[in-house]
Amino acid sequence: MATINKNLSHYDKNTVPNAKDFRFGIVVSEWNENITSGLYNGAIGALLENGAGSENIITWQVPGSFELVYGSKRMIETQNVDAVIAIGSVIQGETKHFDFVCEAVAQGIKDLNVQTDIPVIFCVLTDNTLQQAIDRSGGIHGNKGTEAAIVAIRMAELRKLSSF
């Protein structure tokens, strides 16, 4: 495993653009809420730590990870955001449902990135076990929500710089 014994959420704050002038959307799945709430907290913490104002962070909840694509699309269409973070958690079960949901969400978020001018950040854990999800939502492997927020800031900055 590539992440064994590594916390991938450490970053050099000096390399991250100041987020004070950006508006962020977060669409978070209620399914596996014990995991998605940790990811959400990591994302919020990183955005605030890097200058985003709480008034410039819009949060919407959707029932599950499959609904993240629609929620992100509507966020882009209605909230004048500079980036969207889609937060979810899908844990392998006994059926192929896992495969269908993961594929659909990944493709849907990719499609939004191709079809719109607003970056949508994929922060969907697709783990084999609950423990793997715990380890990546604030556990021994850090917090993918933190990482997604840093990506969102960098992509918002790229969008701003490339629009001139």
Q: Which residues are catalytic?
A: 97
> Rounded distance, CA 20 to CA 48, Å?
9
H helix count then E strand count, the chain:
5, 6
The arrangement of strands across the sheet holding 120-127 comes to 57-62, 24-29, 83-91, 120-127
Token duo for residue 89: 């958690």
Token duo for residue 30: 């209620």
| Residue 73 exposure: Cα atoms within 13 Å on the Cβ side | 13
Can you say how many angstroms the Cα of residue 97 is from the centroid of all Cα atoms in its chain? 22
Closest CA to 65 of 103, 25, 17: 103
Pairing, β 24-29 against β 83-91? parallel
